[in-house]
């Protein structure tokens, strides 16, 4: 049975350290890190992610400017909100929860975020810097995955890391971070929906990162014995026995993968809490940089 990598415990320890750093920054500079959190529409999963982010910010002593907009919001209205947050000196970071409702141009909205406030690391400027290895805001989920591997003592250098999923939010950036010389320094294979014989690739993985967005994408027989498996998926599947009527599961078949892997992240309690923790790190960093600019 695989050892579970406890993202919840790791995140709790890092958040406690973060609360101390936030208090110290406020005492030294008078600056309290502030994040503009924009949620458009009423997708229940997005709502719950945003609520969790806002709670974590408050617990770390940061301030969130919560902006809730109806699904009918126009592109121009949303761009106006971003422009106001870009100009607000009390807002050090901006987060626009994705996906946006149909009809809104996500790429244009992301491009409108000032790169120095882009704590999600989604703007072309930050993505470009990440790819060429310059200092930047790293996207939160891939950064959380790298931190979990590091803290769990998983050596990545020279290993074969296989990533399943090529989204801009997870798959593509995590593949880059795993391959980077000053990152994972691993040999990386990126699999996606057009990959033929997915299992032939996943079975070669020393480290398998699954971010397909689909339950049961990876089952035990697709995993090399002793591999480390990071399950990034968060799927809501109907479940009659629960209060909410659903339960959360990842992109892996937990039981069969746990029987084969040496380490595995659970869902919930794995990557999710680490994603939020990396958002806190980036927001703190944005506030530190703003405080420095203020003084110079």
Instruction: List binders of ligand GUN among 257-276 (CB under 6 A).
Output: 275
Stretch that binds ligand GUN, among 70-78, 92-100, 224-232, 254-262 (CB under 6 A): 92-100
Q: Of 189 and 275, which CB lies nearer to ligand GUN in the complex structure?
A: 275
Residue 286 CB, nearest approach to ligand GUN (Å):
15
Q: Is 66 a catalytic residue?
A: no
Catalytic residue among 117, 118, 120, 159: 120
Q: Is residue 223 at the binding interface for ligand GUN, with CB under 6 A as the rule?
A: no
Q: Is residue 98 at the binding interface for ligand GUN, with CB under 6 A as the rule?
A: yes
Distance CA 281, CA 19 (A): 10
Q: Of 96 and 287, which CB lies nearer to ligand GUN in the complex structure?
A: 96
Stretch that binds ligand GUN, among 28-36, 91-99, 184-192, 211-219 (CB under 6 A): 91-99
Helix and strand numbers (H, E) in the chain are 10, 11
CA nearest 25: which of 66, 65, 61? 61
For 196-235, give the secondary structure using H, E and C: CCHHHHHCCCCEEEECCCCCCCECHHHCCCCCEEEECCCE
Q: Is residue 140 at the binding interface for ligand GUN, with CB under 6 A as the rule?
A: yes
Q: Is residue 251 at the binding interface for ligand GUN, with CB under 6 A as the rule?
A: no
Q: Is residue 212 at the binding interface for ligand GUN, with CB under 6 A as the rule?
A: no
DSSP string, 65-103: EEEEE-TT--HHHHHHHHHHHHH-TT--EEEE-SSPPTT
Per-residue tokens: 86: 């870009």
Residue 275 CB, nearest approach to ligand GUN (Å):
6
Question: At 137, phi and psi to the nearest 5?
Answer: -80, 120
Bridging pattern class, strands 263-264 and 3-4: parallel
Q: Is 80 a catalytic residue?
A: no
The binder of ligand GUN chosen from 54, 116, 120, 251 (CB under 6 A): 120
Cβ-proximal residue to ligand GUN, closest one: 98
Q: Is residue 63 at the binding interface for ligand GUN, with CB under 6 A as the rule?
A: no
Q: Are 248 and 238 in contact (CB under 8 A)?
A: no
Side-chain-side CA neighbours of 159 within 13 Å: the count stands at 19
Stretch that binds ligand GUN, among 61-69, 89-97, 208-216, 225-233 (CB under 6 A): 89-97
CA nearest 35: which of 115, 118, 130, 124? 118
Q: Of 95 and 218, which CB lies nearer to ligand GUN in the complex structure?
A: 95
Torsion region of 213: left, alpha or beta (phi above 0 gives left; psi -120 to 50 gives alpha): left
Q: Of 108 and 255, which CB lies nearer to ligand GUN in the complex structure?
A: 108
Distance CA 43, CA 32 (A): 30
The binder of ligand GUN chosen from 18, 78, 96, 228 (CB under 6 A): 96
Q: Is 117 a catalytic residue?
A: no
Q: Which residues bind ligand GUN (CB under 6 A)?
A: 95-98, 120, 140-141, 169, 275
Residue positions annotated with a catalytic role: 53, 97, 120
């Amino acid at each position: 049975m695989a050892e579970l990598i406890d993202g919840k415990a790791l995140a709790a320890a890092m958040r406690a350290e973060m609360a101390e750093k936030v208090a110290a920054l406020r005492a030294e500079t008078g600056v309290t890190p502030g994040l503009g959190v924009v949620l458009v529409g009423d997708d229940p999963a997005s709502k719950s992610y945003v609520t969790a982010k806002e709670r974590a910010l408050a617990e770390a002593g940061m301030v969130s400017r919560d902006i809730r907009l109806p699904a009918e919001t126009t592109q121009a209205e949303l761009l106006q909100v971003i422009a106001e947050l870009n100009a607000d000196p009390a807002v050090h970071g901006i987060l626009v929860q994705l996906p946006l409702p149909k009809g809104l141009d996500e790429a244009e909205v992301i491009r409108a975020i000032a790169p120095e406030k882009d704590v999600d690391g989604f703007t072309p400027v930050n993505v470009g810097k990440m790819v060429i290895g310059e200092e930047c805001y790293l996207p939160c989920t891939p950064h959380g995955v790298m931190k979990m591997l590091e803290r769990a003592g998983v050596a990545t250098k020279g290993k074969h890391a296989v990533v399943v999923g090529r989204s801009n939010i997870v798959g593509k950036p995590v593949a880059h971070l795993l391959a980077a010389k000053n990152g994972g320094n691993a040999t990386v294979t990126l699999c996606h929906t057009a990959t033929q014989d997915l299992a032939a690739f996943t079975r070669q993985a020393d480290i398998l990162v699954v971010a397909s967005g689909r339950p049961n994408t990876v089952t035990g027989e697709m995993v090399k014995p002793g591999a480390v498996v990071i399950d990034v998926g968060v799927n809501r599947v109907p479940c009659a026995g629960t209060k909410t009527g659903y339960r959360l599961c990842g992109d892996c078949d937990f039981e069969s993968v746990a029987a084969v892997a040496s380490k595995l992240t659970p869902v919930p309690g794995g990557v999710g809490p680490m994603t939020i923790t990396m958002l806190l790190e980036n927001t703190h960093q944005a506030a530190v940089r703003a405080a420095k600019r203020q003084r110079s």
